[in-house]
Amino acid sequence: MFERIGGAAVAAAVIAAPAAAMTLDFDTMNGGTPVVSGVPALNGDEFTNHGVRLSVAPNRSGSTLGLFDSNCGPDFGTTCTGGDSDLATGPTFGTAPQGRVLIINWGGANLNDDPKGGEITFDFLDPGGVSFSALTLLDIDEADPLSTSDIQFRFDYADGTSSGFWSVADLGAAGALSVTNLSSKGLTGNNSLWRYAFVGGGPLPVGADGSVASVSAFALRYDNISGAVASIEYDRPTTSAVPAPGALGLMALALGGLGLARGARRRARG
């Protein structure tokens, strides 16, 4: 691209600026619209302002993507929809309140996470992809969160290649995954909260910050288990225009010429 300085066109390069760190926690939709209760069915475009589009391939026909309000149960004095109290969060469970969480919903308006599971895909809209670092899962209680093969992840990359699906157990063995229990009470079943942090290396390409680089889509698959996605964490690329190599000399000439022209005009007026 070119920038005009003092009447002279000077080449400028678009380079990557520090990435914009994002945490999508499903509490705010496009336009800053807060989500104040559960949403039975999403069309997938509610979070495009965050640079991501959602889709689902449920194992049960008719199940949809929904937003469950996990601020329910004993710490909030409300009954969880669908009687699904194992998705409740708060001090009783040693977890921070998670607000709205993403589920495969089979309960319609009476939201409930589908025990048959399925596959949720996050398509990232930035052309070069994002650096993907982590996701947090709530109430993945039918499987061992540390070593299960029932939870699987797939990374698709901006160059058209894919990692294929890798299980928690296999990524952990490859040194590409770190799992942290976020419940201060150490819950591992109902109401448990786990953060899965991905580390570039081994089977996954390394980003500048150690996360997984150039991810155009991330897929989570869990079969015959239920649970919810509390958040995903990723860095979106940003760009800024700066002078291209060799353009600084042109810029100096342009500015010098501008100064000479102004001096000549002043002398002519004098």
pLDDT tens column, 167-196:
998 888 888 999 999 999 999 989 999 999
Model confidence over 199-232: pLDDT tens digits?
877 788 877 667 889 999 999 999 888 899 999 9
Please state the rounded mean pLDDT for residues 131-137: 95
DSSP for the chain, written as a single string: -EEEETTEEEEEEEEEEEEEEEEE-SSB-GGG-B--S-BS---S-TTGGGTEEEEEEESSTT-EEEEEE-S-BTTTTBPPGGG-GGG--SGGGTS----EEEEEE-STTS--B-TTEEEEEEEE-STT-EEEEEEEEE---SS-TTT-SSEEEEEEETTS-EEEEEEHHHHHHTT-EEEEE--TT---STT-EEEEEE-SBTTBPBPTTSSEEEEEEEEEEEES---EEEEEEEEEEEEEEEEPTTHHHHHHHHHHHHHHHHHHHHHHH-
pLDDT value at 242 more than 80: no
> How far is Cα 168 from Cα 170, in angstroms, rounded to an integer?
6
Higher pLDDT: 62 or 38? It is 62
Model confidence over 11-31: pLDDT tens digits?
444 444 456 899 999 999 998
pLDDT value at 3 more than 50: no
Q: What is the pLDDT of residue 253?
A: 42
Q: What is the pLDDT of residue 140?
A: 86
**pTM (2 decimals)?**
0.81
Please state the rounded mean pLDDT for residues 76-88: 94
CB neighbours of 68 closer than 8 A, spacing ≥ 6?
A: 38, 81, 84, 87, 100, 101, 102, 103, 105, 111, 112, 113, 228
CA torsion sign, 40 to 43 to 44 to 50? negative
Phi, psi of 263 (to 5 degrees): -65, -40
Please state the rounded mean pLDDT for residues 139-143: 78
Q: What is the pLDDT of residue 270?
A: 53
Q: What is the pLDDT of residue 187?
A: 93
Please state the rounded mean pLDDT for residues 110-128: 95
